[in-house]
Amino acid sequence: MTRSNWFNPRQVAKLPPLDPTTAPIKTGHLTEANRAIHAALAKADHLAVNISVTVCDADGRLVAFQRMDGALAEADLASIGKALASVTSGRPSGDESVVSQRYFPRAATTIGEGTPLLRRPGGLPIIRAGKVEGALGVGGASDEQDVECALAGIDALKGRSLEERATQAKLD
């Protein structure tokens, strides 16, 4: 393949304009991601643990990330890996069906670029209208604490407060 075949600026100029309604990340997702991250960080503060939180889109691409002061150095990769494991399966990252999964069609490029895939508890999918829109991953604390923080983040996306979730848990 010659360089002229590889990249031709004239061909790029002929491409149709990007339709923002079909882009993987739509307007408002960053705001929602930050709201979920804020809720997860608040839960971590309540539990007195330091974590990293990642939100990715349906293709496993990073939308938002936060690392608390004092979080373990590996917590960032753990949160990213848990989010990616969850988004590829549409299940929690520690679920047994995720552990044996080997085919990741939508996130294949992200995985191929070397993004870690961590199949431990702490990653939860973001599902709307039956479709996986992304995932939230938490790393840096125990598996149980990571899951608690991730649930707080998911609940923030659903508009539920920690008190409402506690009340629901008592009813269940």
What residue spans define the domains of the chain?
A: 26-167
- pLDDT at 68 (0 to 100): 94
Mean pLDDT, the chain, integer: 78
- The domain covering 26-167 belongs, at the CATH homologous superfamily level, to Haem-degrading domain (3.30.450.150)
- Using CB atoms within 10 A of its CB, is residue 82 exposed (0-12), middle (13-18) or buried (19+)? buried
Query: By C-alpha distance, which of 151, 124, 148 is closest to 136?
Result: 124
Average pLDDT for 31-47: 94
Q: Which residue has the higher pLDDT, 157 or 47?
A: 47
Query: By C-alpha distance, which of 29, 77, 27, 25 is closest to 51?
Result: 77
- pLDDT at 165 (0 to 100): 54
- pLDDT at 27 (0 to 100): 39
- pLDDT at 82 (0 to 100): 93
Q: How far apart are CA 91 and CA 114, in angstroms?
A: 21
Residue 139 near residue 74, CB atoms below 8 Å = yes
Against a cut of 0.85, is the pTM above it?
no
| Each residue's pLDDT tens digit, 81-135 | 999 988 888 888 887 765 556 556 666 667 767 677 778 899 999 988 888 889 9
